[in-house]
Amino acid sequence: MLQGKVVLVTGAGGGIGRDFALAMAAAGAKVVVNDLGTTVKGEGASSGPAEQVAAEIRAAGGTAVANSDSVADWPSANRIVQSALDAFGRLDAVVNNAGILRDRFFFNLSPDDWRAVIDVHLSGSFYVARAAAPHFKAQESGAYIHMTSTSGLVGNLGQANYAAAKLGIVGLSKSIALDMAKYHVRSNCIAPFAWSRMIGSIPAETPDQQARVEKLKSMQTAKIAPLAVYLASETAREVSGQIFAVRANEIFLMSQNRPLRSVHRESGWSAEAIATHAIPALRAHFYALERSQDVFSWDPI
């Protein structure tokens, strides 16, 4: 499905990103394997993970180059995109997968932990996507695949920084889809459910948390890759601005914010009238304080 295409995958040194890179190569793409080689918390750096995955692709008969620049910096994000152009002369798809976790309950979340997660997930997705945009625009084709999360789409405990970044990516993707549509460039999001190095850092202290982790362990990262391959291919050329989720063998199309119900008062609203009339009329449609596991409460299929 990707013969002749060049695909850049960030955070491809392990987990979901590695499976994306391997699947893209197996589908015929030339792959830029980007990974800074940090810990889950974003500490340290090593070229080893990216080099290892690129070598794995080449050993299987594919074509790949490694890059270990950071997505969280505008000049280095440009170097990531340039590495695709230098190696292969073009770029057809960007998979914004790089990420870190700094989980804290909101009342303990430090500005540094907030900034670090936002810098990698949200700013990193923008930097790499923006660096690729002139090339996509000039060739009048291209695909962006961004990784979001139900932590942002639904909610989760102790992940205010991660949830804000992941929901921000949804807004970024939709804006890219709108702004780039006339150049035949598409942009979509995937919310993955899978056991990975990053998910493995989730606390599992209570019975509820332990049960959730056991469910996650049954969900393989490789199950996410086929959707990413499809979205990068020309068969998905009419698909843009969408949010998908993958959970083992299930694929979901996620909802997007739209009005649920309205109330009208000809004379306008006072705070008292809102309390006595508007809120009682709207309350039945309020969302509960649910977490991802409350909404996706059944065992993976």
| Residues forming the active site | 162
User: What backbone torsions phi and psi does residue 209 show, to the nearest 5 degrees?
Assistant: -65, -40
State the Cα angle at 38 between 36 and 40, rounded to 5°: 130
How far, in Å, CA of 159 to CA of 170, rounded?
Answer: 17
Tokens 């995958």 locate to: 9
Q: Residue 85: which H helix or E strand, with range?
A: helix 74-88
Contacts of 43 (CB under 8 A, 6+ apart): none
Q: How many residues does the chain have?
A: 301
Alpha-carbon radius of gyration of the chain: 20
The CB density around residue 46, as the number of other CB atoms within 10 Å, is 15
Tokens 């942009």 locate to: 187
Kindly state the tokens that stand for 175. Answer: 């804006």
Q: Which amino acid is at 46?
A: S
Contacts of 260 (CB under 8 A, 6+ apart): 285
Kindly state the tokens that stand for 49. Answer: 């993970």
